[in-house]
Amino acid sequence: MQHFISLENLNIEVIRELIEDAISFKKRNAYPNLSNHYISNLFFENSTRTKLSFEMAEKKTGMEIIYFDAESSSIKKGETLYDTVKTLNSIGVECFVIRHWEDRFYENLISKFDVPIINAGDGCGDHPTQSLLDLITIQEEFGEFRDLNVVIVGDVVHSRVAHSDAKILQRLGANISFATPEFWRDSTMTMGRYTTIDEAIPKADVVMLLRNQNERHSQQYDEGNFLSLYGLTKERASNMKAHSIIMHPAPINRGVEIDEDLIESPKSRIFTQMTNGVFARISVLNYVFNS
Ligand code: CP
């Protein structure tokens, strides 16, 4: 049994295996059999992709899903996350996929439970299964990570995707840069250099856009002018290299981070990322139970 909290504490060989397994599950349309396990998805922040692609992964591996809805649960009566997990574990749930608004929510859980805890996004901290699906998408496209130029664009300071992706891509040998407004820089992100989107685009192999995390902002910004000042316009996209790709974890603020017309353009891998999310999560479920 393993927890799956962050890619930071996994060695590169394990991460490469997770990627290879996911690509193999996708190609072969064949999945590990986890039909003897009960699992619950505990989401305390909204989600469409992560929650439902975990559910798809759980169904494809034959797992029994014990449904949990935070709004109608006893969390609303003040029950803690620990007591919620303890309760579900007591009635037989053997794995927890948790998204929570608190950074590092898992610290109070991982030493106390000997069933897998999977981080489906903690506050502004980490989003390791999103990182894994991003890595799968890049590997499918380029075959390797070493020396790829990846520019991470937008709301870096509030984005758990940026935090997770920058760290693992650097470990895998990619060159990271950040093209972000001054007010969304993150002084802790020292693995890449800060640049402007106009400077970065012509050099980038991967243009990785971020969602503006409006629910985490304490100060307003000029959303109306964001695209022209900091986002991926059609004009900027025309300066991309022939082989370079556009990624975005979604949900997308259409016309804010990216011009609407680019979302389903030939360079976009945004919906491929979503497809890969299912296989990334199958790979993670296989890892937590079978390694
Ligand atoms: N990319 C991502 O985490 O999307 P959701 O918030 O919809 O899960």
235, part of any domain: yes
Find all residues with CB under 8 Å of 13, minimum gap 6, and list them: none
β-bridge mates for residue 208, sequence order: 152, 247
4, part of any domain: no
Looking at the 3D structure of the chain, how many domains does it have? 2
Q: Do 133 and 263 reside in the same domain of the chain? A: yes
Q: Do 261 and 283 reside in the same domain of the chain? A: no
For residue 161, the CA-to-ligand 1 centroid distance in Å is 10
The pLDDT of 10-32, averaged and rounded, is 98
Do 111 and 88 meet the contact criterion of CB atoms below 8 Å apart? no
75-89, 206-220, 222-236: range with lowest mean pLDDT: 206-220
- Report the CATH number at residue 256: 3.40.50.1370
211, part of any domain: yes
Percent of the chain scored above 70 by pLDDT? 100
Q: Do 118 and 132 reside in the same domain of the chain? A: no
β-bridge mates for residue 193, sequence order: 177
Could you tell me which residues are annotated as the binding site? Answer: 49-50, 77, 99, 127, 130, 160, 211, 250-251
* Banded pLDDT at 31 (limits 50, 70, 90): very high
Q: Please give the Cα distance from 97 to 124 (Å, whole number).
A: 17
Q: Which two tokens stand for residue 39?
A: 């699992």
The reply to whether ligand 1 has any atom less than 6 angstroms from the CB of 41 is: no
Q: What phi and psi, each to the nearest 5 degrees, are found at residue 276?
A: -65, -20
Atom of ligand 1 nearest to the CA of 211: 1
Nearest CA to ligand 1 atom 1: 249
Q: Do 141 and 203 reside in the same domain of the chain? A: yes
Three-class HEC string of 255-281:
CCCECHHHCCCCCECHHHHHHHHHHHH
Q: Do 158 and 264 reside in the same domain of the chain? A: yes
Q: Do 100 and 180 reside in the same domain of the chain? A: no
Q: Do 224 and 264 reside in the same domain of the chain? A: yes
46-50, 117-121, 214-218: range with lowest mean pLDDT: 214-218
Atom of ligand 1 nearest to the CA of 51: 8
The reply to whether ligand 1 has any atom less than 6 angstroms from the CB of 49 is: yes
Q: Quick: pLDDT tens for 136-166.
A: 999 999 999 999 999 999 999 999 999 999 9
Q: Quick: pLDDT tens for 227-270.
A: 999 999 999 999 999 999 999 999 999 999 999 999 999 999 99
CB neighbours of residue 286 within 10 Å? 20
Q: What phi and psi, each to the nearest 5 degrees, are found at residue 227?
A: -60, -50
pLDDT confidence of residue 218:
86
Q: Do 251 and 280 reside in the same domain of the chain? A: no
The reply to whether ligand 1 has any atom less than 6 angstroms from the CB of 52 is: no
The reply to whether ligand 1 has any atom less than 6 angstroms from the CB of 53 is: no
The pLDDT of 204-233, averaged and rounded, is 94
Q: Do 69 and 179 reside in the same domain of the chain? A: no
Q: Which of 241, 177, 254 is closest to 208 using CA atoms?
A: 177
pLDDT confidence of residue 219:
87
Task: For 208-271, give the DSSP string.
Answer: EE----GGG-SS---GGGHHHHHSB-HHHHTTS-TT-EEE--S---BTTTB-GGGTTSTTB-HH
Q: Do 134 and 265 reside in the same domain of the chain? A: yes
Q: Do 214 and 263 reside in the same domain of the chain? A: yes
> Which domain, by its residues, includes 92?
12-125+275-290
Percent of the chain scored above 90 by pLDDT? 95
Nearest CA to ligand 1 atom 6: 47
What ipTM, to 2 d.p.?
0.99
Q: Do 147 and 121 reside in the same domain of the chain? A: no
